[in-house]
Amino acid sequence: MHRSFPAVTLALTASLAAPTLAQGSPPAGFTYETLSDGQLASATAMAFAPDGRLFITERESGRVRVFANGTLDPNPWATIAVTNHGSFSEAGLLGIAVDPDFLNNRYIYVYHTLNSESRIARLEDVGGQGVNYTVLTPANKINSIPYHNGGSMVFGFDGTLYVQTGDAFSGSAPQDLNSWNGKILRFDVPNLTVPSNNPFPNNAVYSLGHRNGFGLSIHPVTGGLFQTENGGALMDEVNRIVPGGNYGWPTVEGREVTPNPSFADPLSWYQPTSALTGCAFYDGENYPSTYQHQWFFTDYNHNRLRVMTLDATGQTLLGETVFHDLPGAGYAIAMGPDGNLWYLTNDAGGYGADELGRYVHSSEPAPSAHLMAVSQRSVGGAVTVGVHAQNNDIVVPWLSWSRYSAPIPTPIGNQWVPIDAVLPVILISGDDRGYVGVEVPNNASVVGYPMFVQAAAYTPSTGTIVPTNPSKAILRR
């Protein structure tokens, strides 16, 4: 990460106009809700588990924190030994990902620096604590220094784990296929074996020529991998990652003056450098339809959250705006199982957040239901049912393989989703939200099919029962 130089003029992709600032607030209808402020220290990454818990990494301390039922647990879920190099370094506990089969194996993966190496390690959730810390990477395979360590982690539809590493200030490592620095790596879990269909045989490298990236996300329709990349003094990039792609560092930074077919071009570039960090696609039903499948990413230098519109294939950039001009720098953004985007930010400086928030929209139904696979893979993994209702409501959700073409009037309101399977009852508490994780068998015949959920919320104080909206998720593997 790096601060920009104000004397250099901003330039975007040639087809784009410079974004319009959001005047310090998100678009009409949106509200930013602060969920925790001042209780986190240098938080850099977060990942949801199928049961609705949000796991958050604290870079300097090596602590993994949990937000659940509207509260940030004061006690760490786990504490990882780290070498952090201070408040403005890019070392420490940097990344986290929850196994798609978490409901069975209880595995969570972390990326951290210790001494002169970066490690990918696995922990197991036992009794609400992270135990059985196991290092999965070979010793000293990923070099670490105070800066340029990467750390972002995300699962793909097929259950493989993508991990972004920094160049550790090496001029040769990003172009060296024998080095794991300056790369995006791809592994099978739980033991970090090399997938047979990786682009380079028997090699964990998925793409190369990277300088220092802070964000990875998966397109919710195509399954494509997208990345934010920090350049040097010239240009930052946002990239669509292709298997085996070479993104040019250190030969090329940002836009190529003379196109070289050996290098993959970025979707967009930013001059002066904006220090792009976390990113996520919106794939919910609470926001206006214009935001469906748009890509959000954070801007550390200018304290902004940007939103990018892509075509249906995810290959062409159609436009970009500033979604919110926050009072602090952003570090990570994640699609939540309640149908909203969750955000880590800080207005106090340093690399890492002290605040957790989310963006909600006034069009969200009340009560509402949402269905998604928080770790991307549903078939052979899990989906999460998230329900937003009043605290102390009792909610009964159900699943189906279909939905009615028109609402069916019932004594409790319109039913859109036939009842194929009734799920465990959810008691809403703390955050006006409740979650239940549902295992999806590893059955190839259901890949690509939609699964639907609806729920009925009972309010004991009034004796009323209100059905939610229907929600849909496409089963992926």
What φ, ψ does residue 156 adopt, rounded to 5°? Answer: -95, 175
Q: How confident is the model at residue 280 (pLDDT cuts 50, 70, 90)?
A: very high
Q: Which amino acid, one-letter code, is at 443?
A: N
Domain ranges of the chain: 30-361, 368-474
In terms of DSSP bridges, do strands 212-218 and 225-230 run parallel, antiparallel, or are they unpaired? antiparallel
Calculate the average pLDDT of the chain: 92
Interval 190-216 mean pLDDT: 97
What pLDDT score was predicted for residue 320? 94
Query: Diameter of the chain by CA atoms?
Result: 70
346 Cβ contact list (under 8 Å, min separation 6): 328, 329, 331, 352, 353, 354, 355
d(CA 430, CA 71): 7
Among 1.10.540, 1.10.3470, 3.40.190, 2.60.40, what is the CATH number of 368-474? 2.60.40
Q: Residue 332's closest CA among 41, 37, 57?
A: 57
Q: How many other C-beta atoms lie within 10 A of the C-beta of residue 13?
A: 15
What φ, ψ does residue 400 adopt, rounded to 5°? Answer: -155, 160
Q: Residue 209's closest CA among 257, 258, 160, 260?
A: 260
245 Cβ contact list (under 8 Å, min separation 6): 207, 208, 209, 264
Query: Above 70 in pLDDT, residue 185?
Result: yes
Helix (H, G, I), strand (E, B) or coil at 450: strand
What pLDDT score was predicted for residue 271? 87
What pLDDT score was predicted for residue 1? 57
pTM for the full predicted model = 0.94
Q: Please, what CATH class does the domain formed by 30-361 belong to?
A: mainly beta
Interval 416-436 mean pLDDT: 96
Q: Which pair of structure tokens corresponds to residue 467?
A: 């059905």
pLDDT tens-digit readout, 226-274: 999 998 878 899 999 999 999 999 999 988 888 899 999 999 998 888 8
